[in-house]
């Protein structure tokens, strides 16, 4: 008799960050993970994670709403269903629940983890096989202090931990941000690639002025300078400047990717399992980008180890990731809830080994950090 999904438990887990993480729309001092524990009738447990940035600062899903919507609406759609047919279960969620891409991603991750454990295969193998076992990882400099950021970058280079850096800007006046970025690039010189993420903070006129100055300063990539829905403006910026544009919030899924590419956008897409509703959805977007000649970048919503591992299994199946990845989420956290942390070294991270995600929960740490209400 085939296995069925028996129970789906969700936990809110609050982990402190190593330093305040400053973005254009919020400053984070902790990260809240929504951990999914999906138990099946064959005794297998699948793990998933749904994570966002700064409560409701980043998008329409908060940790609390992710948990509530899984518990109330999504879990009942899955409980009692056969465990192994991910395509059917994914279609069932899509048919009965609009949006909620982070919640759906957490559930799909748990389904894949369980199926991998069931078959003795890694998630990457379930998706066709890994083409890489070590992926490059950049580091985000987001203390807000120029000197601190420069010192942090040199320390990361010295430790052979990261050699590409992203700067979060947009919270300050443009001239202030440009001076901050230019000073860091001047200090690092050719030792490191420097990119910026504006997190939708500028209008198009401001973006034209800011990007011109950033291009002159030697910045390699400009991420989401203007609001997500301003597709025409993003296309104009990509055609106006030599420095490539990275679309993030503007491309949630394959349909967005097709629309933007067909409109004449060039540059790169930030892939995030949370935006696309899971690993299969994000790979659909990646394949559209590849067909359109648009570069790939493995993005994060600052997930912990479970969500980061899931993303790495997806990225590992792709060919070239022209702009690498930013899968540093676990490194931003002071502690973890897994038995064995991901292995970061030589400017990147190893793909976890073993069946499923290759991740085991530390029950004591999980109990310590989980909310009791």
pLDDT in tens, 291-342: 999 999 999 999 999 999 999 999 999 988 999 999 999 999 999 999 999 9
> Where residue 80 sits, what CATH number does that domain have?
3.30.390.10
Q: How confident is the prediction for the chain on average, in pLDDT?
A: 96
Query: Kind of pairing, strands 27-40 and 45-51?
Result: antiparallel
Task: Answer yes or no: do 147 and 105 share one domain.
Answer: no
Q: What is the pLDDT of residue 24?
A: 67
Task: Answer yes or no: do 143 and 93 share one domain.
Answer: no
Task: Answer yes or no: do 291 and 186 share one domain.
Answer: yes
Which residues belong to the active site?
A: 168, 326
Specify if 192 maps to a domain.
Answer: yes
Number of domains in the chain: 2
Task: Answer yes or no: do 64 and 145 share one domain.
Answer: no
First CA to last CA across the chain, in angstroms?
37
Question: 26 pLDDT exceeds 80?
Answer: no
Specify if 142 maps to a domain.
Answer: yes
Q: What gap in Å lies between CA 8 and CA 200, rounded to an integer?
A: 35
Q: What is the pLDDT of residue 373?
A: 60
Task: Answer yes or no: do 181 and 273 share one domain.
Answer: yes
Task: Answer yes or no: do 143 and 176 share one domain.
Answer: yes
Q: What gap in Å lies between CA 258 and CA 248, rounded to an integer?
A: 14
Task: Answer yes or no: do 145 and 115 share one domain.
Answer: no
Q: Where are the beta strands (DSSP E) in the chain?
A: 5-22, 27-40, 45-51, 134-136, 139-141, 164-168, 193-197, 222-223, 245-247, 267-271, 295-298, 344-345, 348-350
Q: Is 205 exposed, middle or buried (0-12, 13-18, 19+ CB in 10 A)?
A: exposed
Task: Answer yes or no: do 167 and 276 share one domain.
Answer: yes
Task: Answer yes or no: do 280 and 244 share one domain.
Answer: yes
Q: What is the pLDDT of residue 320?
A: 87
Q: What is the pLDDT of residue 57?
A: 87
pLDDT in tens, 273-285: 999 999 999 999 9
Taking residues 31-37, report their average pLDDT: 97
pLDDT in tens, 109-158: 999 999 999 999 999 999 999 999 999 999 999 888 999 999 999 999 99
Q: What gap in Å lies between CA 91 and CA 294, rounded to an integer?
A: 28
Task: Answer yes or no: do 100 and 141 share one domain.
Answer: no
Question: 23 pLDDT exceeds 80?
Answer: no
% the chain with pLDDT above 90: 92
Q: What is the dihedral of CA 129, 329, 242, 239, to 10 degrees?
A: 80
Task: Answer yes or no: do 204 and 311 share one domain.
Answer: yes
pLDDT in tens, 219-268: 999 999 999 999 999 999 999 999 999 999 999 999 999 999 999 999 99
User: Can you read off the two tokens belonging to residue 223?
Assistant: 């991420």
> Where residue 272 sits, what CATH number does that domain have?
3.20.20.120
State the residue range of the domain holding 139: 128-350
Q: What is the pLDDT of residue 203?
A: 97
CA distances from 43 to 46, 83, 246, 361, 369 (A): 10, 11, 43, 16, 25
Specify if 355 maps to a domain.
Answer: no
Specify if 82 maps to a domain.
Answer: yes
Q: What gap in Å lies between CA 99 and CA 92, rounded to an integer?
A: 13
Comparing CA positions, the residue from 116, 118, 175, 181 lying closest to residue 153 is: 181
Task: Answer yes or no: do 114 and 170 share one domain.
Answer: no
**pLDDT confidence tier of residue 89, bands split at 50, 70 and 90:** very high
Give yes or no for a contact between 180 and 208, defined as CB atoms under 8 angstroms apart: no
Specify if 357 maps to a domain.
Answer: no
Q: What is the pLDDT of residue 310?
A: 98
CA distances from 150 to 26, 182, 199 (A): 22, 11, 21
Q: What is the pLDDT of residue 335?
A: 97
Specify if 356 maps to a domain.
Answer: no
* Partner residues linked to 350 by β-bridges: 134
Specify if 61 maps to a domain.
Answer: yes
Specify if 64 maps to a domain.
Answer: yes
* Partner residues linked to 345 by β-bridges: 348
Q: What is the pLDDT of residue 144?
A: 82
Q: What is the pLDDT of residue 239?
A: 97
Q: What gap in Å lies between CA 369 and CA 32, rounded to an integer?
A: 10
Question: 54 pLDDT exceeds 90?
Answer: no
């Amino acid at each position: 008799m085939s296995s069925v999904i028996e129970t789906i438990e969700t936990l809110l887990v609050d982990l402190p960050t190593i330093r305040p993480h400053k973005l254009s729309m919020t400053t984070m001092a902790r990260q809240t993970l929504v951990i999914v524990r999906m138990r099946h009738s064959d005794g297998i447990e699948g793990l998933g994670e749904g994570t966002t940035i700064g409560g409701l600062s980043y998008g329409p899903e908060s940790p609390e709403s992710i948990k509530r919507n899984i518990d109330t609406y999504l879990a009942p759609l899955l409980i009692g269903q056969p465990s192994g047919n991910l395509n059917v279960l994914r279609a069932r969620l899509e048919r009965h629940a609009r949006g909620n891409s982070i919640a759906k991603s957490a559930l799909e991750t748990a389904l894949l983890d369980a199926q991998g454990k069931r078959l003795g295969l890694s998630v990457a193998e379930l998706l066709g096989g890994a083409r890489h076992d070590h992926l490059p990882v950049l580091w985000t400099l987001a203390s807000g202090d120029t000197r601190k950021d420069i010192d942090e970058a040199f320390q990361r280079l010295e430790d052979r931990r990261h050699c590409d850096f992203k700067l979060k800007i947009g919270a300050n006046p443009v001239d202030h941000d440009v001076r901050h970025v230019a000073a860091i690039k001047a200090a690092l010189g050719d030792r490191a690639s420097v990119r910026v993420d504006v997190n939708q903070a500028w209008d198009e006129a401001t973006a034209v002025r800011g990007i011109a100055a950033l291009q002159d300063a030697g910045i390699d990539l400009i991420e989401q300078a203007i609001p997500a829905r301003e597709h025409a403006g993003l296309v104009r910026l990509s055609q106006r400047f030599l420095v490539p544009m990275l679309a993030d919030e503007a491309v949630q899924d394959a349909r967005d990717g097709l629309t933007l590419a067909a409109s004449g956008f060039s540059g790169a897409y930030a892939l995030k399992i949370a935006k696309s509703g899971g690993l299969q959805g994000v790979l659909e977007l990646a394949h559209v980008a590849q067909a359109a000649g648009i570069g790939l970048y493995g993005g994060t919503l600052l997930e912990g180890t479970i969500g980061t591992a899931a993303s790495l299994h997806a990225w590992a199946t792709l060919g070239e990731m022209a702009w690498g990845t930013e899968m540093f989420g676990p490194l931003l956290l002071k502690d973890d809830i897994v038995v064995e942390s991901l292995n970061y070294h030589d400017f990147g991270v190893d793909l976890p080994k073993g069946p499923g995600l290759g991740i085991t929960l530390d029950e004591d740490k999980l109990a310590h950090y989980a909310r009791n209400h």
